[in-house]
Amino acid sequence: MTARNPGPDSSGRGRGRRGETRGPALTSDGVVVLDKPQGPTSMRLVEQVRALVQHRKAGHAGTLDPAASGVLPICLGAATRLSPYLMDGDKEYVAGVRLGVETTTFDLEGEVVARREVPALQIGEVERHLEAFTGLIVQRPPAFSALRSQGERLYERARRGEVVEVPPRTVEVRAIEVLRFAPPFLELRVTCGKGTYLRSLASDLGRALGCGACLEALRRTRVGRLELRHAVTPAGLAELAEAGSLESIVISPADALGHLPAARLSRSGVARLRHGQVVGPEEVVESLPSADGGPLRVLDLDGRLVAIGQAVEGGLRARRVIAAEPDGQAERA
């Protein structure tokens, strides 16, 4: 009979599968940036991380396909409420494109439906075509995607052989740079907004070039201000857990959302915000933005994130409160 893996002991430490003692459980709310390897799903890695750090709650901000790698922000505790705002930040990818091949999934994981000869292209021609794919563009997501339709993921319907009509949508591609061009291989650096499918971009580019294309490799290098230099591999995370050093890689909620503007409030302003009241300019210690309606970080005097706010006429209000009141009591001025 296989022995169960015991939970944390009285010292706050857990035991691994072989009975070894782990470091103390991670109690901080924040974001761990994982360097996702190719192969596992994003959700599988979230569960592995949650078990490893022994945290009560975890979730990822932005799914990566199993074949993709790179920056996967994993939110812990109260920071799981930040996920939509992390996903709204710009993302940067390095994408490998295979010219001359079209597949059902728009990448090499799918069935090949066409092979075409790649014309004698010059890099200048490719760059000119790429100009049409920058700015606000309309693209159709792949049928084999995690988008939902009629209560199911699209890939579930597509795998059953159903004809899946995916409506086009507008996304924003801020910049595309050619990193390497060695036909039939093309490597690009792409900076884009939320909802952009690099598989669709590769497929559409192939059509524009007249030879078809699909995505061969994808590595995400940045989400908002979270970059690969902040990331740790699953093996590295396990080593830190064993050494009791997990706190060293947790990014605070305020820093994780560094791509958003910020407003710092007085103690009385924080208390008013937490009670659903509009905070006037007199309670704003620093950086009150204009009332453009966009999300912003609301910080207390110590720089901790207390809410996602929104500028309104006469001050600001909370969109989403992140931090609870200390000991259940409102802070006093």
In contact, 273 and 265? CB cutoff 8 Å: yes
Give one DSSP letter per residue of 82-141, joined into a string.
GHHHHHTS-EEEEEEEEETEEETTSBTTS-EEEE-PPP---HHHHHHHHGGGSEEEEE--
Any domain includes 106 = yes
The pTM of the full predicted model, rounded to 2 decimals, is 0.83
> Are 239 and 285 part of one and the same domain?
no
**Residues with catalytic annotation?**
65
Q: Provide the domain limits for residue 195.
A: 91-216
pLDDT tens series, the chain, 333 aa: 333 333 333 334 444 444 344 556 677 789 999 999 999 999 999 998 888 888 778 888 888 888 999 999 999 988 888 889 998 889 999 999 999 999 988 999 888 999 999 999 999 999 999 999 999 999 988 766 665 555 566 556 556 555 567 778 899 999 999 999 999 999 999 999 988 999 999 999 999 999 999 999 999 999 999 999 999 999 999 999 888 888 889 999 999 999 899 999 999 999 998 888 899 888 888 776 665 678 999 999 999 999 999 888 878 889 888 865 443 333 332
CA dihedral 183, 130, 88, 77 (to 10 degrees): 10
170 and 242 share one domain: no
Q: Which amino acid is at 321?
A: V
CATH of the domain at 203: 3.30.2350.10
- Output the domain CATH number for residue 270: 2.30.130.10
Give the total number of structural domains in the chain.
3
Which conformational region is residue 161 in: left (phi greater than 0), alpha (psi within -120 to 50 degrees), or beta?
left
Verify that 190 and 242 share a domain, yes or no. Answer: no
CA angle 321, 324, 325 (to 5 degrees): 115
Closest CA to 246 of 58, 61, 86: 58
Residue 249 and residue 264 in one domain: no
Question: Quick one: pLDDT at residue 150?
Answer: 58
Q: How far apart are CA 70 and CA 64, in angstroms?
A: 8
Give bridge partners of residue 318 from the DSSP assignment: 309
Tokens representing 138? 């309309």
7 within a domain of the structure (yes/no): no
